[in-house]
Amino acid sequence: MAETLQLASSWRRQLLEFRRSCESAMPEEECDLIRQAYSLFALVPASWGLSLCKIGKRELEEFIAVGACQTAALSLLDPDINFMVSRGRRCLHFASVVLPGEKSETSGVADTLGLSVLAATAAALGEVARLRAHAR
């Protein structure tokens, strides 16, 4: 049990670090961060009922290879995740995400649409992980 909680805590920290990385990244860092999101999001417990990373690694790399990073980023999301994106001053993208079954939204801000959505999704997953850990 303690080992499971440590793993969950480590994953939450990784999600929060990932969010910060997305929010401070330059657009040319987007591809590497999408790959990192794939690895992190694949660790979502099956019991949560989310279908993240349904796309295969090869397909993800094909999107990235042709410069379709926005498509690659969005392909990592569960189809039932609700999100909204806007672009403001200095071309910053602001995303809000609501995970299925959750009532609150989380947000992320980044230089690209894809990174803003991934940052918000990472924040949402981290918050759900925190709440579920405290419920035990």
Average pLDDT, the chain: 90
For residue 116, give the 3-state DSSP assignment.
helix
Domain boundaries, the chain: 2-135
For residue 131, give the 3-state DSSP assignment.
helix
Length of the chain equals 136
- Average pLDDT over every residue of 85-109: 92
Residue with more model confidence, 28 or 4: 28
- Average pLDDT over every residue of 80-89: 91
**What is the per-residue pLDDT for 5?**
54
Per-residue pLDDT reduced to its tens digit, 32-71 = 999 999 999 998 888 888 888 889 999 999 999 999 999 9
Q: How confident is the model at residue 116 (pLDDT cuts 50, 70, 90)?
A: very high
H helices of the chain, where?
2-24, 30-41, 57-65, 69-74, 113-135
Cβ pair 38, 76 in contact under 8 A: yes
- Which residues lie below 8 Å from residue 5, measured CB to CB, with a gap of 6+? 133, 136
